[in-house]
Amino acid sequence: MLFSEIIALTIFAVFWWFVYSREAKFFISFFKHKSFNKSLFATFIHVFAVLGIFCFFYAYFIEPYWLKVVHVNLKTDKLKNSFVLVQISDLHCDAKVRNEEKLVKIINEINPDIIVFTGDALNAEKALGNFKKTLKNLNAKSGKFAVRGNFDVWYWKDIDIFEGTGFIELDKEAVSFTSANQDVTIAGLSAESSAENLKFLEKLPGNYYTVFLSHYPGINEIIENTAIDLYLTGHTHGGQFSLPFYGALITMSRYGKKYEAGLYALGKDKALYVNRGIGMEGGVAPRIRFFSRPEITVFYIGPGKKK
């Protein structure tokens, strides 16, 4: 966690500690003296105390289940026809089924040419069946590809999490094929692999439209001067808990808020996309999302000059 994120998180925590500690004092005073404090300051505290409760219930019961489909149009002079690619990331499956069934229904109705998953499959081993069933039920006309995220290499390194799902796991390798009568390359890098000295990138066909999968955002700053057209990443969850007009409090990324979520133009018809993910952080972290809805990203990639 960056120092700036520690500061932001501390300010946020101190503010709400102050609100609820003052609210508690007002309630104690009310029960002792049977009088209600009607000052402007007390009103301010009451309003924020109630607002905080409503926000928590929204973040726990509503937003984590409110899937958003984001549509992104990209142009390139490498293609003569269009193809559709769907990205999902950070499922963080628990034993409890949340968005998995809805996700399958939405994506299969889109009927994409390619589906990619950019890491972080499980929060618990008992959710492996849920994860595999979800990925297996996804349909793509030309292929399904995946890379491992930090959770996958920290906790599930010895488990073949993609076995039987139809997804091809990539790590320091690329697959070239034809999709919708267009030449496409999908390359990938696991979260445990170094991004230095990737010899296989030197062999990427420059005339193919090339998508690079990585869990960590900012990979574009390490891997440069290649044939890569589109970098697809996840990891940040879009902060998972974000504030209006400020965005993510923390991203758990070495780049902080620089690559928080969404589309980033890199110049020369290249782009980076940071997916907010589907699930939520595991362990003791509360399963909440706030102003960072779970996301399915649909890319419509076609011919033409980027504007």
Q: 101-105: long-range contacts (C-beta < 8 A, 24 or more apart)?
A: 101/134, 102/67, 103/67, 103/134, 103/278, 103/296, 104/134, 104/137, 104/138
Q: What pLDDT, on a 0 to 100 scale, did the predictor assign at position 181?
A: 86
Dihedral angle, C-alpha 211, 216, 222, 223, nearest 10 °: -10
Tokens 């267009």 belong to residue: 182
Q: What pLDDT, on a 0 to 100 scale, did the predictor assign at position 218?
A: 92
Q: What pLDDT, on a 0 to 100 scale, did the predictor assign at position 200?
A: 85
- What pTM value is reported for the model? 0.94
**pLDDT tens across 75-130, in order?**
999 999 999 999 999 999 998 899 999 999 999 999 999 999 999 999 999 999 99
- Count of Cβ atoms closer than 10 Å to residue 75 Cβ: 16
CA–CA distance, 127 with 96 (Å, rounded to integer): 8
**Residues with Cβ within 8 Å of residue 187, at least 6 apart in sequence:** 170, 173, 174, 175, 200, 201, 204, 210, 211, 212, 213, 228
Q: What pLDDT, on a 0 to 100 scale, did the predictor assign at position 304?
A: 86
Q: How many CA atoms lie within 13 A of 244 on its CB side?
A: 1
Class of domain 67-303: alpha beta
Q: Where are the domains of the chain?
A: 3-61, 67-303
Yes or no: say if 123 and 151 are a contact pair by the CB < 8 Å rule: yes
Low pLDDT (below 50) residues in the chain: none
DSSP-assigned letters across all residues of 125-183: GGGHHHHHHHHHT---SSEEEE---HHHHHT-TTS-TTTTSSEEE-SSEEEEEEETTEE
Q: What pLDDT, on a 0 to 100 scale, did the predictor assign at position 121?
A: 97
CA–CA distance, 113 with 127 (Å, rounded to integer): 27
Q: What tokens does 223 get?
A: 């891997």
Tokens 């700053």 belong to residue: 221
